[in-house]
Amino acid sequence: MGLHIAISADELFITKFLTLAENLHDDISSITIVENANADAYNFDDIEVIERFNYDYKKFANVDWDKIDLYLYNDTIENLKFLTGAAAKSVFSIDLTGYSATLDQMPVIVPRVDEFQLEEALEKKMVSLPHPQVSQLMYIINSLRMNQPMLYVSVTNVFPVSYINKDATTSLAKQTRDFFNFSDEKDKGQMSLAFDVNALTDVAPDKQISFEAQIKRIMPQIETVHVNNLVAPVFYGVTQTVTVGLTTGNTIDTGIVEEWLGDVKDFEGIGYKVNQSSPKKYIQEDSQTLLEFSDVSNTENVKWKSVCDNDQLVLFQTVELINLFIANNFFKPQLLH
């Protein structure tokens, strides 16, 4: 008898998660799909993947939580009450969005990079991934932070318009089409998504969380963290540029930098490009690459650029978390095998 998992996510995420879960585990016996703000009605393109599991669909209020072993939350910040509601019923709950990762009482885990709060997660029966952009930073900076004192970390995230909401890409496509057709149909009061770079706070204030606080939770030894968030006229993929300043009085140890570069290049799931990088498209490609990084410089400080698809990153982290929890006997032994 395997795990009974409840999951609140959109159709594409559920389908891809169950495809990976089926390949990686025989430990999931049934799935309850819980209502989600990003899926008004579930219409799965690949229903065969879903039907391989014993599944049903429930409104949150109608879920029999006594029968659920694990709850995966990938919904909007407005529905975060679902996560706390499930945890209150002693159901092991995972926040995949990172919205709750800023809260002091919430354990935070970055699979394969920062698993120090594993025991606390078991005790509290809840855990959060960081926001994907914090994970994107951590996968690359990890070995450098272990070996090199740092004065500051400066991060610029450039989000695609799809990060705003599910309708934003349609607006981007329409505005682009109207421009090239010399159309005057554009609403004068409508914000330009096709040709402007906007601050995230201007176009999606509900998505503006405290990235600095999340980074400092994981790397408290860094004195100053600054994060700038922009939205650019692209359809997918999040670009991140990072500058790391060293502690006053230190010079860059090129040996440490070379060792760091070697560690990152060898890290499974990270692709290194000498001059440019591009994200693996979550919707169309099945890839083991979580993110790519390039443009590394270490003249006066350490700089690099990386790019990833948020959904792809969270998808693989979800499977790795479940692997980690099963390996550490988080669930009742009789549930597995």
- Which tokens in the block code for residue 305? 């650029």
CA distance 207 to 98: 11
Q: Which CATH number fits domain 3-129+315-328: 3.40.50.140, 3.40.50.720, 3.30.365.10, 3.30.70.120?
A: 3.40.50.720
The residue among 304 and 173 whose pLDDT is bigger is: 304
Burial tier of 253 (Cβ tally within 10 Å: 0-12, 13-18, 19+): middle
CA distance 323 to 318: 9
**For residue 238, is pLDDT > 80?**
yes
pLDDT reported for residue 10: 84
pLDDT reported for residue 196: 76
Average pLDDT, the chain: 81
pLDDT reported for residue 248: 65
Chain segment 241-290, per-residue pLDDT in tens: 999 987 666 667 778 888 988 998 888 888 877 665 555 554 455 555 66
pLDDT reported for residue 274: 66
Residues 6+ apart with CB under 8 A from 197: 158, 230, 231, 232, 233
Residue 335 pLDDT level (bands cut at 50, 70, 90): very low
pLDDT reported for residue 283: 45
Amino acid at 229: N
The residue among 111 and 273 whose pLDDT is bigger is: 111
* pLDDT over 90, % of the chain: 25
pLDDT reported for residue 276: 58
Whether 81 contacts 15, CB under 8 Å: no
Closest alpha carbon to 277 in 257, 258, 305: 305
**For residue 187, is pLDDT > 80?**
no
pLDDT reported for residue 271: 80
Where are the domains positioned within the chain? 3-129+315-328, 133-309
Closest alpha carbon to 229 in 246, 245, 215: 215
CA distance 92 to 71: 6
C-alpha distances (whole Å) from 4 to each of 68, 75, 258 are 5, 19, 45
Helices (H), the chain: 11-24, 47-51, 80-88, 118-124, 132-147, 168-180, 200-203, 211-218, 254-266, 310-327
What's the half-sphere exposure (Cβ side, CA atoms, 13 Å) at 271?
Answer: 15
* pLDDT over 70, % of the chain: 81
Chain segment 12-57, per-residue pLDDT in tens: 888 888 888 766 556 788 889 888 887 766 777 677 777 777 788 8
Whether 6 contacts 63, CB under 8 Å: yes
Amino acid at 287: S
pLDDT reported for residue 137: 96
Closest alpha carbon to 124 in 135, 108, 102: 108
Choose the most confident range, by mean pLDDT, from 35-44, 202-211, 320-329: 320-329
Taking each helix axis from N to C end, the angle separating 11-24 and 310-327, rounded to the nearest 10 degrees, works out to 40
**For residue 337, is pLDDT > 80?**
no
Whether 136 contacts 240, CB under 8 Å: yes
Record the pTM: 0.86
Residues 6+ apart with CB under 8 A from 43: 11
CA distance 48 to 94: 26
Least confident of 78-87, 125-134, 236-245: 78-87
Chain segment 117-176, per-residue pLDDT in tens: 999 998 888 999 999 999 999 999 998 988 888 889 999 999 887 777 667 667 767 777
**For residue 334, is pLDDT > 50?**
no
The residue among 144 and 191 whose pLDDT is bigger is: 144
The answer to whether domain 133-309 has CATH 3.30.360.10 is: yes
Please list, residue by residue across 69-94, b when 16 or more beta carbons sit within 10 angstroms of its beta carbon and e when fewer do: bbbbbbbbeebeebbebbbeeebbbb
Residue 217 pLDDT level (bands cut at 50, 70, 90): very high
